[in-house]
Amino acid sequence: MPDIPFERYTLPNGLDVILHVDHDAPIAHVEVTYRVGSKDEAPGKTGFAHLFEHVMFQGTKQIPEDAHFKYLKEAGASNINGTTNNDRTNYFETVPANRLELALWLESSRMGFLLDRPAFQETLDGQRDVVKNERRQRVETRRWARSRRPRARRCTPRGILPPNGDRLDGGSQPGEPGRRPGRSSAVTTRPATPSW
């Protein structure tokens, strides 16, 4: 296994940072992982982790709705996405090295100003419908997908899987999404030493 040098530190706001510097790479990769997933959902209120994965791409107080992807694509970014599982929700993008500040600004904006945006409730309702539709497409219409959760429960020690069933149904009312710096990690690979 290759030895990959990195620095790890915690910012005053609680954000864990893992930084790998590669002077040969003309790109920077940013990945932010929130240590919250479907295991953190209450019984009968499922889908919040996946719902907020969607909502967090829809803009903030500083970023207009649907501009997140637009800004990154205009900057030449690739590999832009987010995923959710039982344990975590993460977001990532690969940008030209000279656009690292843009990627970090976008990530910090969604971490700090998501709920302050205009029309947040409308966006939440719209994304809830998207997530419910994904559940219909990926779970309810596929026999193997419906059987996956009960099979996982039988094979996993008690307390590991969430007690609430599948994570994709969009839930009901939004709760505390759990995304705050103390439960978050940022991983950055860049070609030069940062100035912060």
What are 21's strand-pairing partners?
190
**Alpha carbon distance 34, 15 (integer Å):** 10
Are the C-beta atoms of residues 167 and 41 closer than 8 Å to each other? yes
Tokens representing residue 130 in the block: 């998207």
Catalytic: which of 31, 53, 93, 107? 53
Tokens representing residue 62 in the block: 């500083």
Other CB atoms within 10 Å distance of the CB of residue 2: 3
**Alpha carbon distance 162, 105 (integer Å):** 33
Task: Single out the residue of 36, 84, 75 nearest to residue 57, CA to CA.
Answer: 84
Residue 138 CA neighbour count, 13 Å, CB half: 11
**Alpha carbon distance 77, 84 (integer Å):** 21
| DSSP per position, 109-136 | HHHHHSTTSTTHHHHHHHHHHHHHHHHI
101 is annotated as an active-site residue: no
Active site residues: 53
